[in-house]
Structure 1
Amino acid sequence: MFLSTLEIQSIIEHKMLPAVCTCVMEADQSLTIRVCDCMTGKVDLVASHVPLWTLDSPHAIASLVADMRQEIEAHKSINPTYTI
């Protein structure tokens, strides 16, 4: 199954909601994915050099999103955000 770059970007951005996610195609055919907290605007994760050619199925994209969510949660448990 072949998905276009725009479809892959759209799926990743949608799956990361409510966070603000932007995907940028790099010259080497990789993606840079930036995920920011929707309330604070704080950058939660930047994944660079994600090979586009490995995101060739919905399962591959879902695995990437799950890994990114896990990384964000792991980082938040180490550096929790407190509201006063």
Structure 2
Amino acid sequence: MFLSALEIRNIIESSFLPKRCQCTLSPDLSMTVKVYADGQTDHLDLLVTGIDASGLNGCREINELIAQLRSKQHYIEVEPHSMLGKAL
């Protein structure tokens, strides 16, 4: 990865504003993204776990991931998978 985990998290979380987004990245580069319906509740619009973040080497890959995540809002996914290069 060319970007730090903090930079990747910031880019992804910022892309969902004004909604609240929480992105966590584990040491093995497995990512979880949660997008909340609003700022007052913990109701999730999106939960995706097991995203393989090892391929997020630049803006293009991050933008593709964000586009895939945005297309799946109001969808809860809990099975581990690689979002890069695969349809959900």
The two structures have a TM-score, normalised by structure 2, of 0.73
1:5 to 1:39, Cα distance in 2 relative to 1, 3 A: closer
Question: Gapped runs of 5+ residues in structure 1?
Answer: 76-84
The equivalent residue for 1:71 is 72
Q: Which has the larger radius of gyration?
A: 1
Q: 1:1-84 residue pairs with structure 2 within 5 A?
A: 2-39=2-39, 41=41, 42-72=43-73
- The residue type equivalent to 1:12 in the other structure is I
Bigger share in helix: 1
Percentage identity across aligned positions? 33
Aligned length: 75
- Superposed CA deviations along residues 52-81 of structure 1, whole A, max 9, x for unmatched, are 211111111111111111111678xxxxxx
Partners of 2:35 and 2:75 in 1: CA distance: 14
Q: Which amino acid aligns with 1:45?
A: L
TM-score by length of 1: 0.76
Change (3 A) 1:4 1:39: closer
Moved over 6 A (4+): none
| Residues 24-44 of structure 1, C-alpha deviations (whole Å, 9 max, x = no match) | 122432111111012553201
